[in-house]
Amino acid sequence: MSAREAAAAGETGPLLRLEGICKRFVKRLDLAERLAARLGADVKEEVVHAVEDVDLAIEPGEVVGLVGESGCGKSTLGRVVAGIHAASAGRMTYRGKDITDAAGAEAKKSALKIQMIFQDPFASLNPRLKVAEIVGEAPLVHGIVPRAQLAGYVDEVLESVGLDPAYRRRYPHQFSGGQRQRIGIARALAVRPDFLVCDESVAALDVSIQAQVLNLFMDLRERLDLTYLFISHDLGVVEHLSDRVAIMYLGRLVEVAPTAALFAEGANHPYAQALLAEVPRIDSRRRVFKPVEGEIPSPLDPPPGCAFHPRCPHAFARCRAERPLLREVAPGRWSACHLNDQA
């Protein structure tokens, strides 16, 4: 029985469970600012509320698409899941074991199994290592392949992401943007993870190679029961690949829905509706693009009530005062909007 069937039969819990996860970044005052503050100047520590109170459970073998506005906290949430950032608050379990404390024994065990493919390939590849070393290092260190078979293994992984193994002796700067992104994918796949956090992993690829990599992701899921948190701004890709979609706005989840229902019936949350309405299609020519209406709120100072109210066409008094909670509005569909109480 595959993990997915087991999950469907209710025999295992979710692979990953997030409960009340928060991540805040504090910009501490430098010396001059501290002095100024002591003299009564109006300088305060700035706190970025990157991720606020996120609850999400991901089943084994599931693909969850994570979408939302630029800067809303998707990468930060991904980094928390991958153990790169420690959560400021909340609890995280993997296969039922607590991995909230990244230094804890369980977290260390899961660290290799949860791999992240980074949004920014250039910053995440060591410029002094050749491609073969970047991809081969971790599998060797962790004893996934013996040294004698390493070269062949690396070639295989490179080919699976559409890179010619002839390039194995090159350094990252000698590659094009899309080629670098694939090196990052190859590095993550080389350690045979169970769970992949893909952060805009196909964003820099032309559609044909993107198709190849997405097909690879789908194959791996079939073959190895890989589970994905798939961060992307490309709703076409998310629709194609995901079982469920989680939509984030200013650090919080505002809607979680099965993909088929979301795209067939439309979104429930007004932000999610706006997002779906803007999807560019290859058939729409020389469009007149519209600027964002209303003010884009800042995670330095999130608006009270519903964070979307300054831009929401339906906002009413309660939205400005009280924060809507994520509620189940239809089987498997969750949305955080006061309009759902008005019926």
Ligand X SMILES: Nc1ncnc2c1ncn2[C@@H]1O[C@H](COP(=O)(O)OP(=O)(O)OP(=O)(O)O)[C@@H](O)[C@H]1O
Q: Is 201 in the site for Mg ion (CB under 5 A)?
A: no
Q: Is 160 in the site for another protein (CB under 8 A)?
A: no
CB-wise, 122 or 153, nearer to another protein?
122
CB-wise, 202 or 329, nearer to ligand X?
202
Please identify which residue in 11, 164, 265, 322 interacts with another protein, judged by CB under 8 A: 164
Smallest distance from Mg ion to CB 78, Å? 8
Written as six digits, the tokens of 35 are: 């002095």
Edge-to-edge strands, sheet with 16-27: 46-58, 16-27, 89-94, 97-98
194 contact, one of ligand X, another protein, Mg ion, none, CB 5-8 Å limit per kind: none
CB-wise, 145 or 198, nearer to another protein?
198
Size of the site for another protein (CB under 8 A): 80
- Considering only 14-22, 102-110, 213-221, 323-331, which stretch makes contact with another protein by CB under 8 A? 213-221
Which is it for the CA torsion 295, 296, 300, 304, positive or negative? positive
Q: Is 185 in the site for another protein (CB under 8 A)?
A: no
Smallest distance from another protein to CB 27, Å? 7
| Cα 33 from Cα 44, distance rounded (Å) | 9
- The interface with Mg ion within residues 26-85 (CB under 5 A) comprises 75
Please identify which residue in 35, 41, 105, 300 interacts with another protein, judged by CB under 8 A: 300
State the residue number with the nearest CB to ligand X.
178
CB-wise, 99 or 251, nearer to another protein?
251
| Cα 304 from Cα 116, distance rounded (Å) | 33
Q: Is 179 in the site for Mg ion (CB under 5 A)?
A: no
Size of the site for Mg ion (CB under 5 A): 4
Written as six digits, the tokens of 240 are: 């194609």
Nearest of 225, 274, 265, 224 to residue 247 by alpha carbon: 274
**In angstroms, what CA-CA distances link 15 with 12, 60, 96, 110, 112?**
8, 5, 7, 11, 15
**In angstroms, what CA-CA distances link 214 with 53, 155, 206, 220, 307?**
30, 19, 12, 10, 33
Please identify which residue in 177, 236, 304, 332 interacts with Mg ion, judged by CB under 5 A: 177
Q: Is 206 in the site for another protein (CB under 8 A)?
A: yes
Q: Is 179 in the site for another protein (CB under 8 A)?
A: yes
Q: Is 281 in the site for another protein (CB under 8 A)?
A: yes
- Tokens 């992307």 appear where? 232
Q: Is 232 in the site for Mg ion (CB under 5 A)?
A: no
The answer to whether the CB of 115 falls within 8 A of the CB of 188 is: yes
Smallest distance from ligand X to CB 174, Å? 4
CB-wise, 99 or 197, nearer to Mg ion?
197
Edge-to-edge strands, sheet with 227-231: 114-117, 195-199, 227-231, 63-68, 244-249, 252-258, 333-335, 327-330
CB-wise, 17 or 180, nearer to ligand X?
180
Helix (H) or strand (E) holding 246: strand 244-249
* Residue spans of alpha helices (H) in the chain: 3-8, 31-38, 74-81, 105-111, 121-124, 131-141, 147-160, 177-190, 207-224, 235-241, 259-265, 270-277, 317-321
Please identify which residue in 64, 117, 237, 312 interacts with another protein, judged by CB under 8 A: 237
Site residues for Mg ion per CB under 5 A = 75, 119, 176-177
